Structure 1
Amino acid sequence: MELVKKTDDQGNIIIFKRYHGRAFHKEIPGNVGDHLEKQVTLPFRPDDVLLCTFLKSGTHWVFNITRMIQMKTLQYKSHMAMVEYEDIGILDNVKSPRLFATHLTYPFIPKAAKEGQIKLIYVLRNPKDVVCSFYTYLSQLRNSSYIGNFDGFLKAFLTEEIISCGGSWFTHTREWNSAICENPDLKILILRYECLKKNLYPNLVKIANFLEVNHDETFLRKVEHAVSFENLKKEHATKAGENKVYEHRADKGRLPVYNKGIVGNWKNVFTVTQNEAFDVVYKEKMCDMGVNLEFDYE
């Protein structure tokens, strides 16, 4: 599949794959359509869990939280089995209990997930913080999908031609929320990044209950400590954060997934003009949503 490479009037370059008129990350292997067609019918097991997020929405953080509770361990793990990036054979050979992750927007997720055969955890984050974290992340990678300044990236983020897995943050959020509203049989837990940051422990209990895993308070308190931003960043800097799969993107394959880990960092990045432009697009694209999308900014 041919890569789409676009250059704006400032010389900023963005690269992605296009499938069915939608933008997909260039790291998705081979032909996007062929790969997605294979993963749609991926055989799932009853105790599988699929973590669903837009890029840079706390995916690695919630992955480690969920995995620790699911596996009854405090061991850090940097590599997630992402259904849109991994070979189907590799996914199928993962031992149970399995935790997969995806950035795909709802229409492209595996059939079994749509049919309520497995549990889904969906995490939503303030898009203003998402775009800041996303830009910082891409700026630190080799062979990056974006080369340029923040202003150019923000303008791309507000369109459908942004590095994604089937849709912009706006499309991803709309399609996931429509699916949640229209499919009451989905086994899904909805989490807010900002709520996790503000009061983590009750959410650990919520995740444990959702997974139907019994854990006492002593263990969950240990998880709470283990998944603090400082601890995860420290663990990621060790050998545990290395991964040969990503050596073409970062030294020793250690992706720069931990930036600041705070709520409201966009206030330190956005100009007044950028914020106003963002709010116009946000209002236009999200004003008719049937769910509460108010975000904590502090």
Structure 2
Amino acid sequence: MECGCRPSAGERWRKSPTSPLEELSSPRLIKSHLPYRFLPTAMHNGEAKVIYMARNPKDLVVSYYQFHRSLRTMSYRGTFQEFCRRFMNDKLGYGSWFEHVQEFWEHRMDSNVLFLKYEDMYKDLGTLVEQLARFLGVSCDKAQLEGMVESCNQLIEQCCNSEALSMCRGRVGLWKDIFTVSMNEKFDAVYRQKMGKSDLTFDFCL
């Protein structure tokens, strides 16, 4: 949920009879940050597969803050404390993270929805790749799966060594470097309030 289309744009896209997406050859891969309710009706009816990746909100808000500061179009120059307060109060663009993630979690058992957690990639990338292959109906033997995992690890290493890319945003437990004790207590209170009725859980450090 770090970037994406505004819901109003998504509604126009969903209803448009001449969507440019229809001009793309199949199979198509489309990245979106739209809430579940704004996805095309065909996806709700199971006519396309949806892979949803959720990240623990403490790391996400730090990455989101850095993302806002890095783009000229957003040009955010406030403090992280203020940004975090806006995140907790659902006052940032593109809607509430808490509603967004819970809405997809409610559809995790749908046959065309695969709900993944960002932190699981760090714990066991191989298992996650296997899940993706099964979900997409791709037949892979052990050697092919191992090769894909190795390619992913090589890509991560290249990014880590690139001066143009900041991999600190991708680290699990990043929030510990910037959250104060007071901020963490307030965040935990808001998290319990907004997620208390959900059985969705996250790893905040590994």
TM-score (norm 2): 0.85
Q: 1:103 aligns with which of 16, 30, 33?
A: 33
Q: Distance in 2 between matches of 1:107 and 1:188?
A: 14
**Deviations along 1:27-82, whole A, 9 cap, x unmatched?**
748xx63x323322478xxxxxxxxxxxxxxxxxxxxxxxxxxxxxxxxxxxxxxx
Compare the two structures and name the one with the higher helix fraction: 2
Structure 2 unaligned runs (5+)? none
Measured in 2, the distance between the counterparts of 1:92 and 1:236 equals 38
Tell me the CA shift for residue 92 of structure 1.
Answer: 2.3
Distance 2:115 2:5 in 1: 26
CA distance in 1, matches of 2:13, 2:177: 40
Q: How far apart, in 1, do the equivalents of 2:5 and 2:200 lie?
A: 32
Shift, 1:221, TM fit: 2.2
Q: Find the residue that maps to 1:266 and give its secondary structure.
A: helix
Partners of 1:205 and 1:236 lie apart in 2 by 31
Alignment of 1:201-280 (within 5 A): 201-228=126-153, 229-232=156-159, 258-280=167-189
Instruction: Note the C-alpha offset of 1:141.
Output: 1.4
- The reply to whether residue 297 of structure 1 matches residue 196 of structure 2 is no
Query: Given the alignment, which residue of 82, 88, 104 partners 2:19?
Result: 88
In 1: Cα distance, 2:81 partner to 2:193 partner: 20
- Confirm whether residue 117 of structure 1 aligns to residue 26 of structure 2: no
Alignment root-mean-square deviation, CA: 2.8
Change (3 A) 1:258 1:112: farther
Indicate the residue corresponding to 1:176 in structure 2: 104
Q: Determine the C-alpha separation between the residues in 2 that align with 1:236 and 1:268.
A: 21
Of the three residues 29, 34, 39, the one matched with 2:13 is 39
1:285 is the counterpart of 2:173: no
Contact 1:41/1:112 (<8 A) preserved: no
Tell me if structure 2 keeps the 8 A contact 1:226–1:232. Answer: no
Query: How many pairs were matched up?
Result: 203
Structure 1 gap segments, 5+ residues each? 1-24, 44-86, 238-255
Kindly tell me: are residues 226 and 233 of structure 1, through their superposed partners in 2, closer, same or farther at Cα, counting changes over 3 Å? farther
**TM-score, normalised relative to structure 1:** 0.61
Q: Structure 1 pair 145/109, CA: closer, same or farther in 2 (3 Å)?
A: farther
Contact 2:68 2:76 in 1 (8 A): yes
Higher relative contact order by CA 8 Å / sep ≥ 6: 1 or 2? Answer: 2
Which residue identity lines up with residue 218 of structure 1 in the other structure? A
**Which amino acid in structure 2 is aligned with residue 36 of structure 1?**
G
Tell which deviates more after alignment, 226-235 or 143-152: 226-235
For the 8 Å contact 1:42–1:92, the answer to whether it is kept is no
Q: What is the match of residue 86 of structure 2?
A: 156
- Alignment correspondent of 1:199: 124
* Higher fraction of strand: 1
